[in-house]
Amino acid sequence: ERRQFAEAILPRAVLVVEGATEAAMFATASTVMEQSLGTKAYSHFDIAGVSVFDAGGEGSAPIYGPFFKGLGKPAFCMIDKPRQARTTDADAKLADFQRFWESPERGIEALVAKELDETVLRRFLNMVKARSDYPAHVGTATDGLSVEQVRDLVRAVLEARKGNLYGYAALLIAECQSAAELPCSIRTVLEEIHK
């Protein structure tokens, strides 16, 4: 936490996310954006001075709105669709962010599985199935799977390998060969922060 706070105080801006999965995923998506669009059209988070801050879990991101506002730091936030209605206190704290986005899905795994194109999802499944840490209990992709079955399998794989220990969400995003292939919600956040 101390390292994260130090890294969040030094840059020009901060993106607060709910967990390690999202933090790794946004860093990788920023790389895809830069490689796809070029440095004149998009600056990678590292170059632009944007730090990704892992709030530590679902529902924990709002508390950092007042903190970063108090520092005078431009802060952005992306949260999952809450499992229950947010409190007025949480809403007030979210309002302290310069901008925040709420996912239409209850987890980042469901969001990316829904928004990514089938070809990206299949590339990912074909790449990870040979890994020694692949969660075999969720099944593996075959050519006969429907698009919805592929989406369900990707979500199950990501949920089984959630967090920064495995990095599966970042591996999935790395399968995007251009900014156009990134999940729309993630690309929107990156574009808005870049502006």
Mean pLDDT, residues 127-135: 94
Q: Give the pTM.
A: 0.91
Mean pLDDT, residues 96-119: 96
Write out pLDDT tens, residues 40-61. Answer: 999 999 999 999 999 988 889 9
Write out pLDDT tens, residues 7-50. Answer: 667 788 999 999 999 999 999 999 999 999 999 999 999 999 99
Tell me, letter by letter, the H, E, C secondary structure of the chain. Answer: CHHHHHHHHCCCEEEEECCHHHHHHHHHHHHHHHHHHCCCCCCCHHHHCEEEEECCCCCCHHHHHHHHHHCCCCEEEEECCCCCCCCHHHHHHHCCCCEEEECCCCCHHHHHHHHCCHHHHHHHHHHHCCCCCCCHHHCCCCCCCCHHHHHHHHHHHHHHCCCCCCCHHHHHHHCCCCHHHCCHHHHHHHHHHHC
Write down the pLDDT at residue 62.
95
Write out pLDDT tens, residues 176-188. Answer: 999 999 999 999 9
- pLDDT band of 142, cuts 50, 70, 90: confident
Write out pLDDT tens, residues 64-94. Answer: 999 999 999 999 999 999 888 888 999 999 9
